[in-house]
Structure 1
Amino acid sequence: MAKVLWHVSMSLDGFIAGVGDDMGWMAGYALPEASAPDIVQRIGALVIGGRTYSLARTDAGRPYGGAFSGPMFVPTREDPQSAAPGFTFVREGLAAALELASSAAGEKDVVVFGAKTAARCMDMDLIDELLVHVLPVLLGDGVRMFEHRGGTLHRLERIGLSSGPDVVDLRYRVHR
């Protein structure tokens, strides 16, 4: 069965996108050699939130710079026929989108993109692991990696740590 992975790059002050969903601040940073070569090869499907979909459906915003070409599922209320090529709209909800993605991924990972979508997955106990690339940038404002009003405690177990010249990779297993 596919593992569900929240894979994200984050500024040192906890933001995954800048103001106005700006992602340009991530350009030019090299991932640690321990994680870089096979990340995309281990991904079988993506589950993408609505805001992230609006960015990812353009050529400039394609996931992994266009290196990933597999199935992408978007939980939404939109008409499934209106999905951009390469994307599948799932009207039955987030759990159904993850089920479809897991089936499509086979033995490979399902990656969740989008802060709100990933937070909902965390609250539904649907995330197995987190892989966070911490970049040496302070943004000061933007989209937080995890923001949950009222708070929910999620215990994590570190299962990996590597660093490169620019980026530190943190990998965690989610405790259920």
Structure 2
Amino acid sequence: MSKVIAIMSMSLDGYVADLNDGVAEVFAWYFQSGEEEVRTGGADAMLFKVSPPSAGHIRRLTARLGAVLTGRKTFEVAHGWGGNHAWGPAFVLTHAVPAGWPRPDSTVHFVTEGLETAVRQAKLAAAGKDVAVHGADTIQQLLNAGLLDEIQVDIAALLLGSGVRLFDQLSKAPIALGNPTVVQGIGVTHLCYSVLKK
């Protein structure tokens, strides 16, 4: 059965982006933490250079993914991934479809009918695989609605001090998590928690 999985890189003090929505610091480990190359996606693949433990973690995780769910802000910051996300069809939760979209030959879809509809469409597109979730606000909404199954968080060896926090607006807290699995990379620690349902 398809799971909805939050996948985010985060500083040790809980920030996923700086005050200007910059993610270079929390994403640096993807490109500077080792010599092992990992490509994810198809024609528009991303190339990472990481340590062997991180490479194994990324390969295991991305092999599970069939679609992506994200918010409008993440879509904008990522420039729409050039029209095609490397992890599969992307579903963008938004109040209005942005000008110039949808585009021909793009696998980016816009959902204006709410969170549950976005989850349903992403799961359908994932065809039995898991749905990756990007964006702090979208992850918080899913946690508050009880629709998130798992949290995969990559803790970068970094203190940002300010910016966008991953778990800032939780109306349903406390939220119980299962015991973590831990993979220690270079410059990053990969944590995976199941979200326990009440």
**TM range, smaller chain:** 0.7 to 0.9
| CA distance in 1: counterparts of 2:172 and 2:145, whole angstroms | 14
Q: Write out aligned runs for 1:1-150 (5 A).
A: 1-25=1-25, 26-27=27-28, 28-29=32-33, 30=50, 32-59=54-81, 67-68=86-87, 70-79=88-97, 82-84=101-103, 85-148=106-169
Change in CA separation of 1:137 and 1:56 when aligned onto 2, cut-off 3 Å? same
TM-aligned CA deviation for residue 173 of structure 1:
0.6
| CA distance in 2: counterparts of 1:111 and 1:140, whole angstroms | 27
CA contact (8 A) 2:80 2:108 kept: no
TM-aligned CA deviation for residue 34 of structure 1:
3.9
Deviations 1:92-130 (A, max 9, x none): 101100100001102211011110111000000000000
Deviations 1:22-54 (A, max 9, x none): 011122233624412232222100011110010
CA contact (8 A) 2:144 2:172 kept: no
| CA distance in 2: counterparts of 1:130 and 1:79, whole angstroms | 28
Q: Which residue of 2 aligns with 1:160?
A: 181
CA contact (8 A) 1:158 1:170 kept: no
SS at match of 1:48: strand
- Asked which structure has the greater RCO (Cα within 8 Å, sep 6+), the reply is 1
Any unmatched runs of 5+ in structure 1? Answer: none
Q: CA RMSD in A?
A: 2.3
| CA distance in 1: counterparts of 2:69 and 2:4, whole angstroms | 9
Any unmatched runs of 5+ in structure 2? Answer: 34-49
CA contact (8 A) 2:14 2:166 kept: yes
| CA distance in 2: counterparts of 1:136 and 1:56, whole angstroms | 23
Q: So what's the TM-score if we normalise by structure 1?
A: 0.88
TM-aligned CA deviation for residue 77 of structure 1:
1.7
CA contact (8 A) 2:152 2:193 kept: yes
